[in-house]
Copies of this chain bind each other. A is one copy, B any other.
Amino acid sequence: MTLLEKVNSPQDVKKLNLAELETLAEEIRQAILNRDSKIGGHVGSNLAVVEATLALHYVFNSPLDKIVFDVSHQCYAHKLITGRQDGFLTDEGMKRISGYTNPKESEHDAFVVGHTSTSVSLACGLAKARDFRGEKHNVIALIGDGSLSGGEAFEGLDNAALLKSNMIIVVNDNEMSIAENVGGLYENLRLLRETKGKAECNFFKALGFEYFYIDNGNSLSDLIHTFSEVKDTNKPTVIHMHTLKGKGYSLAEEYKETWHWRMPFNLSDGSLTFQDNKETYNSITVNYLIKKVEQDKKVVVINAATPGAVGLVPDKRRQLGQNFVDVGIAEEHAVAFSSGLAKGGCKPVYMVLSSFIQRAYDQLSQDLAINNNSAVILVFGGGISAADVTHLGCFDIPLISNIPNVVYLAPTTKEEYLAMLDWGIEQNSHPVVIRVPKEVVSAKLDKVDYGNLNVYQTVEKGRQVALLGLGSFFGLAQKVAEQLKQKGVHPSVINPRYITGIDEILLNELKKEHQLVVTLEDGILDGGFGEKIARFYGKDAMKVLTFGGKKEFTDRVALEELYQRYHLTAERIVQDILETLKTC
């Protein structure tokens, strides 16, 4: 029987001696690698904090003491010793247990967390609530060095430093964000590492924290020593521990960015179990931008600490040279910086995931849209998906499309995407956001002036029913059209192109020979595209059917299931259309 099998709660960890804890750490690493290699997941960050997690649970008393994991990229060891081993050992368990903290899974998890830089503020709330309630436990935030650059983390630190009570912030300094760290702060962390925490110029002390440094953040004894020292402190305290990202798996130690998060792989040599060589919009975009930068040095490609997720792998970044700027985890800065670049005469292209652009709404509105500067933003990963609840891509249409001045485009094919991207970069009149489609579809494209805003394209002229297939759902509209034809209905098929505007001429024209307009969008319906169409026809006889997602947080629900739930299959849509037609 392994030690891990005997550990069902943090109480069990406390019974072990140092040698046993070392053994347990090794078993935990194997379990982490087992899960990661089978279903993919965060590797390097989780391997780095195995000892720290054991030491935290050895010294503190969870769930009485609260441990808040920032972004949850480092919660696997915590899960393994809080009764969730099967999430790392069995197929069924891996499906059930998520890669993020979740109070529904365990009383040892305080929050559902998946975005970065939130732990200090959340923990600050717990600490203040404890004080108001006259309770006495410890509140601990575990935050990676990379997450410190996010504005929310700073706001949290600035407030946490003022607490006159217990608040322990463990900074896990593994010298990496997902990619390299970016920011002046990291020069200070380096100085602190080099001086073993002794440098007078200390970011955390400047904010008012008590400060402790642990040079070997993978040494159980050192960790236990320092954690014991600060336990029950009545001052806001930072423990800065230096860990090794990827610790214990040599490939992850060496290639830190590749192994931050990894698809399923073969444990022996690290090779991916399944490699998909299909053309993706990541490579299409990056290859286009590399050429563009060669032709025009004013084109600047920007990303906020997730370059790999949008195809900006190290080799491609090198090709972009100084025309690539990673701003670190700093999405707000990325948008404002892009606005400044555009104002200064450059042509910024900010590449961002749908789930993360929502970290910069105010900057989109104030810094960019009110100023009407011509930055380009490419939103990747938009759409209904089987993702974790914290990484859904179905909210960007309501978020972005209701901001004045912004032109939000929904290309349907590779050719259309590249034409829109090129137009966006070359024009000087609007902030342009493009929702990068999912599957690469190719089709001949006529030359279009996208500056002639809000002109929809009638791809197929029919009657009775008009299908408006937005962006990545245009293909679905075409499928629906095919099936309708078999039922004797010959619909018009329309590519709206613009999420942000209504083609009034075309929509009015449709009234002549159509009784039903159907909208299809890859996102939630609330606040989205279909509702704008429904409003437009509100006082007309035209009926409107809107297809899209429901306003709900889903968590790793299979896409097929969601499509069934939302009637997003061609069959269900055809059925709904035929039923509605009976009433027209």
Residue ranges of A at the interface with B (Cβ–Cβ < 8 Å): 103, 110-115, 118, 121-130, 132-133, 149-162, 182-185, 187-188, 200-203, 205-209, 236, 297-298, 300, 323, 325, 327-328, 330, 332-333, 336-346, 348, 358-359, 361-363, 365-367, 369-371, 389-390, 395, 398-399, 401-405, 516, 524-528, 530-532, 534-535, 537-541, 543-546, 551-553, 580, 583
Contacts and interface: CB of A to CB of B under 8 A. Distances in A.
A236 to B, nearest CB: 8
B535 A332 contact: no
B336 A398 contact: no
Given A201-B206, A205-B201, A544-B539, A162 B184 contact: yes
Given A203-B206, A367-B122, A156 B336 contact: yes
Contact of A184 (B151, B161, B182, B370): B161
Q: Shortest 3 CB-CB distances between A and B: which pairs? A: A125-B340, A151-B151, A129-B344
Contact of A152 (B112, B332, B344): B332
Given A150-B151, A151-B151, A398 B527 contact: yes
14 contacts: A111-B367, A112-B371, A113-B366, A125-B339, A129-B346, A132-B341, A151-B153, A183-B207, A200-B200, A370-B553, A395-B403, A530-B535, A531-B532, A541-B583
A58 B208 CA distance: 37
A562 B169 CA distance: 50
A118 B367 contact: yes
A125 B534 CA distance: 40
Given A128-B300, A128-B337, 9 more contacts: A111-B339, A111-B340, A118-B366, A121-B333, A124-B337, A155-B333, A158-B183, A159-B328, A539-B580
B390 A366 contact: yes
Contacts of A115: 362, 366
Nearest to A553: B404
